[in-house]
Amino acid sequence: MNMKSSNPKEIKESFDQLFNSFTEEEKIESSARLIMFRFLSIIEEKSVAMGLNRKQLALKIGTSPSYITQLYRGDKMVNLITLAKFQKALDLEFDIAEKKTYEEAVTDYPSFNDGSGFWVYFPFKIPDYKDAVSLPEMDKCNVLQVA
């Protein structure tokens, strides 16, 4: 890896080499940490919404603030019992679903004729409501007129 290169293509390649340098075991561990971080992200948002700091959250689930910090830093892995305790403490329920691509999602709904009319599912892309910049502008919304 030529670290002194400032050529954009070589810079990208040097990072590709870095990201591809992990063994299969390390990739699985990284995926496991990402799954954990997904749960922890929800936990952090709910804690903030409830006005709970880490010390208070730790007390609620019967552990230490440092343990929770170790989870967030990826130094330790959370177990399902602890996740269940977080659920109870924060009065939430984790919902698990398989992530589908947009194409996979819309192919579940083919068009059909039920005798009353021919139904066609218009490929509507659900906006990311957390990302205000992606919401459709008013004059670009399609309005369907029903006779």
Judged by beta carbon, residue 4 or residue 142, the one nearer other proteins is: 4
Taking CB under 8 A as the criterion, the residue among 52, 60, 65, 72 binding other proteins is 72
Q: How many beta carbons lie within 10 A of that of residue 68, not counting itself?
A: 23
Q: Which residues of 92-120 are buried (b: 16+ CB within 10 A; e: fewer)?
A: eeeeeeeeeeeeeeeeeeeeeeeeeeeee
Binders of other proteins in range 1-30 (CB under 8 A) = 1, 3-4, 6, 8-9, 11-12, 14-16, 18-19, 21-22, 26, 30
SS3 71: helix
- Name 21's bridge partners: none
Binding residues for other proteins (CB under 8 A)? 1, 3-4, 6, 8-9, 11-12, 14-16, 18-19, 21-22, 26, 30, 33-34, 37-38, 40-41, 44-45, 69, 72-74, 128, 130-131, 133-134
